[in-house]
Structure 1
Amino acid sequence: MSDLQRLLGYREPIFNASMAGAAGGALAAAVSQAGGVGMIGVPATPTEDWIHAQARYVANLDTPWGVGFMGWALEENLEPLEAFLEYDPSLVAISFGDVTRAAALAHEAGVLTAMQIGNAADLDRAMADDIDIIIARGGEGGGHGRNEVATLPLLQLACAQHHKPVIAAGGIGTAHGIAAVLAGGADAAWVGTRFLAASEATGHANLKAAVLASGIDDTVYTRAFDIAQQLPWEPQYGGRALSNDFSDRYAADLESLLATDALREQMKQARSEADVSLAPVYAGQAVEFVNEEQSAAAVIEELRGFRQILAQTARRFE
């Protein structure tokens, strides 16, 4: 049993990534009930009603669950974090921005904190006392983050510090992937894209269909979607999404992308209508392994096959 498992008390070393727009309370509860650690992904400006609606799914669980925030969204407004802390999460993940105030608030409430890292400088920050757990996210991962280091070298760097638990993230979508990162020193795996088509995941049917129809070569890392929507993501945090007509036009030509109010409204409408030719569908390279809509429990059941793989590998090298 790893130190992280002792801290949190889960059965399976599998966390669903806190994907805003996909990982709501229903998915988090299903993952936790299946033995993993369910994470709720919080949008930048959640309403009070949304927070309480998601938290009701997990509030009475006797298994660990957590909630993930964008650090820049909490820098000016800690109220969403305060609201979720009332429901006693096991873990708060805070990434992408100044995490200091939010991490202090979580610690005051007696809750463990985690931070995603994407390079060596991020790791240095995560070694401060206000962060308990390191999430080493490689550029293969879906959604926002850095695109500087791949999962395997970043995992090796993070594990070399020997002081804090490490969760590996980015491109992990099968039992073999989980076996690989656990053998590489991770305490657990942070799995996002594999859950995008889960029956409990939120999101329009068009988005799930796009995920199911895509493969390993069908993603792009770009800031184009954020620029078009005039979102306040810092330039170092682009996003990996499924390629579509919009990214085909602008991902490699950001200089020609004019961030107008008209485009922002057009993108907003596309997102509300789930027009996947224009709106972003954030997914990582593990989209290759999303082949059918399943329950979160069925996904966990597949992923827990890592134990047999590790045992077979050990025998091969005896």
Structure 2
Amino acid sequence: MPRTWLTDRFGLDVPLVGAPMAGVGDGRLAAAVSAAGGLGMIGVPGSAPAPWIVEQAAVAAAGGRPYGIGLMAWALEHHPAQLDAVLEARPALVSVSFGNFAPYVEPLRRAGITVAVQAGTTREAREAEQTGADVVVARGGEGGGHGRDEVATLPLLQGVLEEVTVPVLAAGGIATGRGLAAVLAAGAAGAWAGTAFLGCAETMLPEAARARVLATGETGTAYGRVFDVAQRLAWPPEFGGRALRNAFFERWHGREEELAGDEAARAELEAARAAGDFDTAYVYAGQAVGMVTRHRTAADVVADFATADNLLRRLTDDQ
């Protein structure tokens, strides 16, 4: 594999970060991705207590490889103990994004932690660099989970690479070695991928959710705020979520104001999550979900990303 800032900074075999996916990726998935040669990350849910973070960090660290933790800035305002727990754990990388991330960058850097900020626009990337982020993640609207849906990955990556001087990782729609090769060729230091790992046994997803992922094609996702509004989550409105399209989303999309006051719908979603009914409950995934077609291990997925090396070598040889 080509050496990049990402591989050199963390001693990786593959310039790949397993994106932090709250409710999907805990210490087990992070450890598996890191053991396979990438950098695994723990996704911290918005209301996660500090002891949960400490516990999952210990799981991720047990293999002796670098790992990371992903935090949501809007949640830290209400749960400051999350930051304290992360500082105690001292992971190699922390992503803090989605909201006012500025107050958290310097405390993390003072602790010797590399700080990443996810950006959905070039302007946001410039702000992240000015605030002191060590690396910017250019996250396009194709990506699963939460983020902006204003610019697609390829134009965003090009714009960000032109405007910032810190290393840039590409996120959104990258699920194979071909995708990794493409963003490396463009100048990214690596890829930031989540959806590619949704078929893995190491995730926290119930089997019914994984089965739905494997059966969904590339047009089977939808972007919006339906699930956040139904749960009364305090996500800033500019950061909607991309999830598998289902009956609940179709029923309420465009009626979010009405949904915000509908307690029956809120209870329906909560009950569906408990029952594993994914016609109503959500599974966050990006547009690359159509390439996730079978059960694999995290090591299998990382090995697939590593085929980027052969593709890049072929490109060089052809020239």
- The bucket for the TM-score relative to the shorter chain is over 0.9
Q: Is the 8 Å Cα contact of residues 117 and 135 (structure 1) preserved in structure 2?
A: yes
Instruction: Quote the residue 2:15 is aligned against.
Output: 13
1:29-53 Cα deviation digits (max 9, x unpaired): 0000100000000001112442233
Gaps of 5+ in 2: none
- Find the residue that maps to 2:251 and give its secondary structure: helix
Instruction: Quote the residue 1:237 is aligned against.
Output: 239
For 1:77 and 1:46, the matched residues in 2 are separated by 8
For 1:85 and 1:177, the matched residues in 2 are separated by 33
Instruction: Quote the residue 1:203 is aligned against.
Output: 205
Instruction: Quote the residue 2:265 is aligned against.
Output: 263
Q: Is the 8 Å Cα contact of residues 241 and 283 (structure 1) preserved in structure 2?
A: yes
For 2:85 and 2:50, the matched residues in 1 are separated by 8
Gaps of 5+ in 1: none
1:161-188 Cα deviation digits (max 9, x unpaired): 3510111000011111111111111101
Provide the alpha-carbon RMSD of the alignment: 1.5
1:149 pairs, out of 148, 151, 162, with 151
Q: Is the 8 Å Cα contact of residues 78 and 102 (structure 1) preserved in structure 2?
A: no
Higher mean C-alpha deviation, range 258-267 or range 78-87: 258-267
For 1:49 and 1:75, the matched residues in 2 are separated by 18
Q: Is the 8 Å Cα contact of residues 105 and 131 (structure 2) preserved in structure 1?
A: no
- Find the residue that maps to 2:83 and give its secondary structure: helix
> Does 2:301 correspond to 1:299?
yes
Q: Is the 8 Å Cα contact of residues 75 and 101 (structure 1) preserved in structure 2?
A: no
For 1:22 and 1:298, the matched residues in 2 are separated by 18
Partner letter of residue 29 of structure 2? L
Tell me by how many angstroms 1:310 deviates: 1.1
1:174 pairs, out of 176, 180, 185, with 176
TM-score scaled by structure 2?
0.95
Tell me by how many angstroms 1:241 deviates: 0.4
For 2:241 and 2:163, the matched residues in 1 are separated by 27
Q: Is the 8 Å Cα contact of residues 229 and 259 (structure 1) preserved in structure 2?
A: no
Instruction: Quote the residue 1:220 is aligned against.
Output: 222
For 1:99 and 1:273, the matched residues in 2 are separated by 35
1:28-82 Cα deviation digits (max 9, x unpaired): 0000010000000000111244223311212233321100011100123321121
- Find the residue that maps to 1:23 and give its secondary structure: coil
1:9-34 Cα deviation digits (max 9, x unpaired): 21211111100011110000000010
Higher mean C-alpha deviation, range 67-76 or range 43-52: 43-52
> Does 2:186 correspond to 1:184?
yes
> Does 2:294 correspond to 1:280?
no
1:230-277 Cα deviation digits (max 9, x unpaired): 111111111000000011222244355343233222212222222101
Instruction: Quote the residue 2:98 is aligned against.
Output: 96
Instruction: Quote the residue 1:113 is aligned against.
Output: 115
Aligned residues: 317
For 1:47 and 1:8, the matched residues in 2 are separated by 28
For 2:170 and 2:293, the matched residues in 1 are separated by 23
Q: Is the 8 Å Cα contact of residues 46 and 80 (structure 1) preserved in structure 2?
A: yes
For 1:313 and 1:214, the matched residues in 2 are separated by 32
Higher mean C-alpha deviation, range 20-29 or range 3-12: 3-12
Correspondence list, 1:59-74, <5 A: 59-74=61-76
Partner letter of residue 143 of structure 1? G
